[in-house]
Chain A
């Protein structure tokens, strides 16, 4: 079956995707909330920036991140000064890059879900003495729960499937940055087609199951009672 270096790559992939999903839930939720509620003209530019990773080649994104986090980049100098070393070619460098890369997959479903909640339930909550933060946690979040599930699944799956950004930022260090997609690439380069097949099949099955879950699962259409 799958050998130990393949397992290591798969485990690293799961670790990366989970970490990125959790971070993006924390970072993406306020961004999506703001985008769904704001009426300023900033909404357009910020929305476009959030959507950029959808259209940019991963190598472009990776290139800029490499420059920014490298020894001469502003983030690189900051992390160096803080004694954290440099981020490129580390697991956390990969996490940072993936957060940017998967940002739209978290923000856009959440934004749609928050927009669907609308103003009224929040106005009702305010007339029932709930502060805006209180209303967010007790009304907006429960009503947008299906959106949170969709966004998390998409973010996780998209992070699992990344390749170009990983190569630019993480390189190919076993156990540190060598995720499953890179491992498959290595197998193919080494003409180990059997191993490539096995790992590729795992990835294919995983992706299909995730999408199957996403497309078959329909929450009860909740009517605004």
Chain B
């Protein structure tokens, strides 16, 4: 059967991992959690870089680990990108790309040229790794992992060692991987931003355990997770550009349950786009007022959860088939009479377009 099924248990003096999960065999799955949550260790177990003795792992129906079998890393059809690009310093960029490439026989899924083109590193091939910028190095690292034509691509916080500018430089390439390749990707991250942009599926981890797993939009909007995102709490909507207002330079994002206007970065009508609405940018009202906030939607309170701060509450609302989160003070919630089932106006101050 398609997909990844894994069961791992590790007991180290300072850390333990205990997971049992099934992941989809397509798209991007984010392993998300704070540092020490075990997300990297889980990825390393899947790669065979850690050996959890009583573990079990099958990928697309092929067993990589069970009671009496353990496929060593170099026999697993994976591509792995480390947090620091970890290029071989004694080889050129091309030498790095070829290192894995020439050791695989079945290289149908990705060609070397395709890997070079996808990551835009054609002009770097003769360079030595120590003469590359951090962003270039990481792009070569990703291309090197792709060049082995993997059945499963594992990325361990590939952007964590980079500054904001370099991250923005690499994110579009990661999105291309998502859009243009059929290879399932496991992506370890502690950044809600990256997860919202790239992932289709989310596995939230804490203390070596899986807290929640499911499709991204549903899982992000869950209120019962014991970890808090605080300022980063929010919902993600899959939308289509419905209209563009040239005069006011706005674009309308249509999603299942309504639409939102946002400043237009130059979108074309009909394009599919992911929209992130942070809970702190959403307010609630009994009447559609005449405030500066023009995005007002009719929604129904679905659940009320705790925020990091005891004076604040996170309210989950159903807007049509979609879900939004609002963050407001408990006093405001009380005076509005926020309760499960209550219909309210949901005002959205700003949205982030995740292109």
Chain A residues with CB under 8 A of B79: 127
Chain A binding surface SS class? helix
A139 touches B145 (CB 8 A): no
A138-B99, A225-B130 are known contacts. Are A129 and B88 too (CB-CB below 8 A)?
Answer: no
Q: List the A residue with the shortest CB-CB distance to B150.
A: A127
Query: 7 smallest A-B Cβ distances: which pairs?
Result: A128-B100, A225-B129, A127-B80, A129-B103, A126-B73, A142-B90, A225-B87
CB under 8 Å from chain A, chain B span 73-111: 73-75, 78-80, 82, 84-90, 99-100, 103-104
Q: Does A223 contact B (CB under 8 A)?
A: yes
**Shortest beta-carbon distance, B88 to chain A, in Å?**
6
**Shortest beta-carbon distance, A121 to chain B, in Å?**
7
B130 touches A123 (CB 8 A): no
CB under 8 Å from chain B, chain A span 115-152: 120-121, 123-132, 134-135, 138-139, 142-143
A130 touches B103 (CB 8 A): yes
Q: Does A224 contact B (CB under 8 A)?
A: yes
B137 touches A123 (CB 8 A): no
Interface size on B, residues (CB 8 A): 29
B130 touches A223 (CB 8 A): yes
| Interface residue from B72, B82, B132, B137 paired with A124 (Cβ < 8 Å) | B82
| Interface residue from B48, B89, B104 paired with A223 (Cβ < 8 Å) | B89
The docked-state distance in angstroms from the alpha carbon of A128 to that of B103 is 8
A120 touches B144 (CB 8 A): no
Q: Does A218 contact B (CB under 8 A)?
A: no
Chain B residues with CB under 8 A of A135: 74
| Interface residue from A143, A222, A225 paired with B85 (Cβ < 8 Å) | A225
A225 touches B86 (CB 8 A): yes
Chain B residues with CB under 8 A of A121: 86, 88
Chain A residues with CB under 8 A of B148: 128-129
Residues of A near any B CB (own CB < 8 A): 120-121, 123-132, 134-135, 138-139, 142-143, 222-225
Chain B residues with CB under 8 A of A125: 74, 99
B88 touches A124 (CB 8 A): yes
The docked-state distance in angstroms from the alpha carbon of A129 to that of B106 is 12
B47 touches A127 (CB 8 A): yes
The docked-state distance in angstroms from the alpha carbon of A225 to that of B93 is 11
Q: Does B21 contact A (CB under 8 A)?
A: no
B90 touches A143 (CB 8 A): yes
Chain B residues with CB under 8 A of A130: 74, 99-100, 103
**Shortest beta-carbon distance, A138 to chain B, in Å?**
7
Chain A residues with CB under 8 A of B339: none
**Shortest beta-carbon distance, A39 to chain B, in Å?**
13
Q: Does B269 contact A (CB under 8 A)?
A: no
Chain B residues with CB under 8 A of A132: 74
Chain B residues with CB under 8 A of A127: 47, 49, 73-74, 78-80, 100, 145
B49 touches A123 (CB 8 A): yes
A126-B73, A138-B99 are known contacts. Are A222 and B130 too (CB-CB below 8 A)?
Answer: yes
Q: List the A residue with the shortest CB-CB distance to B131.
A: A225
Q: List the B residue with the shortest CB-CB distance to A135.
A: B74
List 16 additional A-B contacts (Cβ < 8 Å) besides A126-B73, A128-B103, A139-B88.
A120-B84, A121-B86, A123-B49, A123-B73, A126-B72, A127-B47, A129-B104, A130-B99, A130-B100, A135-B74, A143-B88, A143-B89, A143-B90, A223-B89, A225-B89, A225-B132
| Interface residue from B74, B84, B87, B144 paired with A126 (Cβ < 8 Å) | B74
Chain A residues with CB under 8 A of B73: 123, 126-127
Q: List the A residue with the shortest CB-CB distance to B78.
A: A127
The docked-state distance in angstroms from the alpha carbon of A168 to that of B130 is 52
The docked-state distance in angstroms from the alpha carbon of A195 to that of B323 is 97
**Shortest beta-carbon distance, A123 to chain B, in Å?**
6
The docked-state distance in angstroms from the alpha carbon of A9 to that of B324 is 90
Q: List the B residue with the shortest CB-CB distance to A124.
A: B86
Q: List the A residue with the shortest CB-CB distance to B87.
A: A225
**Shortest beta-carbon distance, A135 to chain B, in Å?**
8
Chain A residues with CB under 8 A of B86: 120-121, 124, 224-225
CB under 8 Å from chain A, chain B span 270-327: none
**Shortest beta-carbon distance, A168 to chain B, in Å?**
43
A224 touches B72 (CB 8 A): no
Chain B residues with CB under 8 A of A224: 84, 86, 89
**Shortest beta-carbon distance, A116 to chain B, in Å?**
12
**Shortest beta-carbon distance, B125 to chain A, in Å?**
15
| 18 CB-based A-B contacts, threshold 8 Å | A120-B84, A120-B86, A123-B49, A123-B73, A124-B82, A126-B72, A126-B73, A127-B145, A128-B103, A130-B100, A130-B103, A139-B88, A142-B90, A222-B89, A222-B90, A222-B130, A225-B89, A225-B130
